[in-house]
Amino acid sequence: MADVIQMTLRDALKEAMREALKRDNNVVIMGEEVGVWGGTYAVTRGLYDEFGDRRVIDTPIAEMGIIGVATGAAMGGIKPIAEIMTINFALVAIDQIVNNTAKIHSMFGGTMRAPVVIRTAAGWGQLAATHSQSFEAWFAHVPGLIVVMPSTPYDAKGLLTTAMYSQNPVIFIEHSRLYGEKGPVPEGEFRVPFGVADVKRAGKDVSIITYSRMVHVALNAANELAREGIEVEVVDLRSLRPVDWETVYGSIKKTHRALVLTEDWMTYGISAEVAARISHEMFDYLDAPVERLTQLEVPLPYAPNLEKLSFPDEARVIEQLKKMLA
């Protein structure tokens, strides 16, 4: 048995990358400030010193170029991790991601592969409207991509390791406010498969279907409600494409009530897809309509009080669950 140690999500990601760099000489990391600076969120710190500028490559501020070059390099036999500093900047590269990275395999009849791992950070923190967005649904919409968004250090390392072995392009979305989150992680290599959700807390009264940072909000709310004898089940999707519907439906069959909790906007967001599927597939099992709590439909303001109001928190989750159970 491998030793299990407590580490931050940031270090868990770094460990996955370090192991990949050690294992496979064709693995490179490229992105803005990933090298000398050590990554703007310090996720790659130390890797430049350990592996050098041939493996850990600083790029110009050119997201289309980064994704395009990484995709072309992958077609040529390299296994690149392309870091896009934040998911907001991924929009600059969205043509490359959607029209090249996601399409290389299908458009050419399966004759080519582009196994790029695109790491990027979601999150917020008084960064105002353009630097605080949750665009996971934009990428999860596209056939040809795998999209994951881990909530714990364990999942982060396991999913990134799976991504490093994958022959498919992976959009790996980290949440900047989870980088310091600590949790148990086994030493050495292990994988968390794509398309497998994780029941982070078992319960019988109501299910929260969520992912990324909102898993923690859900767990806190569940712990509060447990004191009142309400048992909340928390399902962490982990993969947003493909989604593990069996685990989601299994939870609904048990609790008969679902709250979908996300940090992206409600309209056409991840919660829209999840709620629609549950409503359709679990119609006979539901005792109440599927409810949703998401970011409010506003461009995120700078002022801290307004920013805080924009996201679901424990109090709002509890209030919503109580309404559903009333």
Partner 1 sequence: MVAPATVAAPVTHEDPLEITREMGLHWLEQMMLIRRFEEAAEYAYTQKKVGGFLHLYIGEESIAVGAVAGLRPDDDIFTHYRDHGWVLARGVDPRPAMAELYGKATGLVKGKGGSMHFASVEHHMWGGYAIVGGHIPLAAGMAFSHQYLGRDRIAFCVMGEGATNIGMFHEALNMAAVWKLPVVFLVENNMFGMGTAVERASATSDIYEKGQAYRMPATQIDGNDIELVYRTIHQFAEHARRGEGPQLIEAMTYRFKGHSMGDPQRYRTKEEVESRRPDDPLNRWEKKLIERGWANDTLIKEIFARVDQQVAQAVQFAEDSPFPDPGELYTDILVEE
- Site residues, partner 1 (CB under 8 A): 26, 28, 54, 59-60, 62, 64-65, 67-78, 95-96, 99-100, 105-113, 115, 143-144, 146, 166-168
Query: Which phi and psi (to 5°) does residue 142 adopt?
Result: -100, 115
**DSSP for residue 99:** I
- Enter the tokens of residue 57: 């490559």
How far is C-alpha 4 from the geometric centre of its chain's CA atoms?
A: 23
Q: Is the Cβ of residue 117 or residue 275 nearer to partner 1 in the bound state?
A: 117
Query: Who contacts 234 (Cβ-Cβ below 8 Å, separation ≥6)?
Result: 199, 200, 201, 203, 207, 208, 210, 215, 218, 219, 222
State in angstroms the smallest separation of the CB of 277 from partner 1. Answer: 19
State in angstroms the smallest separation of the CB of 165 from partner 1. Answer: 8
250 contacts 301 by C-beta, under 8 angstroms: no
Q: Is the Cβ of residue 57 or residue 214 nearer to partner 1 in the bound state?
A: 57
Q: Is the Cβ of residue 94 or residue 266 nearer to partner 1 in the bound state?
A: 94
Q: Is the Cβ of residue 9 or residue 90 nearer to partner 1 in the bound state?
A: 90
State in angstroms the smallest separation of the CB of 52 from partner 1. Answer: 13
What H or E segment, with its residue span, contains residue 172?
A: strand 170-175
Q: Is the Cβ of residue 108 or residue 302 nearer to partner 1 in the bound state?
A: 108
Task: Tell whether omega for the bond before 242 is within 30 degrees of 0, i.e. cis.
Answer: yes
State in angstroms the smallest separation of the CB of 110 from partner 1. Answer: 4
43 contacts 223 by C-beta, under 8 angstroms: no
**How many whole angstroms separate alpha carbon 318 and alpha carbon 316?**
5
Sign of CA dihedral 152, 156, 157, 161: positive
Sheet strands side by side (includes 258-265): 198-201, 232-236, 206-210, 258-265, 291-295
Classify residue 65 by burial, with Cβ atoms within 10 Å: 0-12, 13-18, 19+: middle
State in angstroms the smallest separation of the CB of 29 from partner 1. Answer: 13
Q: Is the Cβ of residue 47 or residue 258 nearer to partner 1 in the bound state?
A: 47
Active site residues: 63, 131
State in angstroms the smallest separation of the CB of 77 from partner 1. Answer: 6
